[in-house]
Structure 1
Amino acid sequence: MSLDSRLSSVLHLLLHLMESQVAVPSERLATALNSNPVVVRRTMAGLRDAGLVTSEKGHGGGWRLACDPDQTTVLDVYRALGSPTLFAIGNRSECPTCLIEQAVNVVLDDTLKEAEARITARLQTLTLAALASDFHSRLHLSLCVPQENIHAL
């Protein structure tokens, strides 16, 4: 099963943008993710459309954070990505004729909806500022961590 790592990747990029005083080019962001600048531009364009980042063209151009990290939640970022599917499991058939499969579908549907509601409620409580605070705590404690484990732009 292939995992959708876009939320993790985008949060990573947004925290890099929070740390930067200047616009960050797609190439530098792609390096942070070990990815392709085209993929970064495509993803960041969606975040720009959602008002989370801005872009600047030309020499010295790149991406900047446009949202308030204290008010922007991980759920906001998740939604800006189009609310990707949270679970890889699902029903074998959406409209089964078998009564047993119908019963299975109801139980799975209810359980997955409850789990999704809990996850989205939790994501709503996590802000970009809280993630940045965790990063800064880790950075402060990094005296015992080899410097190559700290990815600076």
Structure 2
Amino acid sequence: MGLSYKLSDAIHILAYIEILKKQDLSSKSIAASIGANASVVRNLMLDLRSANLLTTHQGVATPQLAKSPDDISIYDVYCAISMPHNLLNIDPKTNPNCLVGGHIQETLNHFYSDIESAAYDQMKTISLAHVIQDILK
């Protein structure tokens, strides 16, 4: 399975729109900043709009944040984007006849659930405003 950059790109889009709100906010311009195709940006913007994090108007390149950057958490963005939302994955093809292979999935599920929960809690504490402040320092 390849790595997904959707979360990074979605945060990039929101930061770009907020920081450069007086400049060209076309999907082509944002895509140039990300190093991606404009269709990738448009698809992510649709996800962000559906989650009420972004407002857009068809035919006009004037996207705006739907909320203050202080009120958008990394977790909000993570939940908004269309992608599998498992941070950690377990190999489903272990040997059930082996002591380790027969128990590793259930064991890791327990630990992975705790790890993901802690990660989500941390993501909820980091706002888009924190990201923007760090970019601008």
CA distance in 1, matches of 2:106, 2:112: 10
For the aligned residue pairs, the C-alpha RMSD in angstroms reads: 2.1
Would you say how many aligned residue pairs link Structure 1 and Structure 2? 134
CA distance in 2, matches of 1:14, 1:61: 14
Using the size of structure 2 for normalisation, the TM-score is 0.85
CA distance in 1, matches of 2:107, 2:64: 44
Please tell me whether residue 72 in structure 1 is matched to residue 62 in structure 2. Answer: no
Instruction: Tell which structure's C-alpha radius of gyration is larger.
Output: 1
AA aligned to 1:112 is Y
CA distance in 2, matches of 1:31, 1:85: 29
- Return 5+ residue gaps in structure 2 as ranges: none
Using the size of structure 1 for normalisation, the TM-score is 0.77
AA aligned to 1:10 is A
The sequence identity of aligned pairs, in percent, is: 25
1:35 is aligned to 36
AA aligned to 2:125 is T
CA distance in 2, matches of 1:127, 1:49: 19
How big is each residue's C-alpha offset from its partner over 1:80-122, in whole Å with a ceiling of 9 and x where there is no partner? 01463212x313249x754733421221111111111111111
Post-superposition, which runs of at least 4 consecutive aligned residues in structure 1 deviate over 6 A?
none
CA distance in 1, matches of 2:62, 2:86: 29
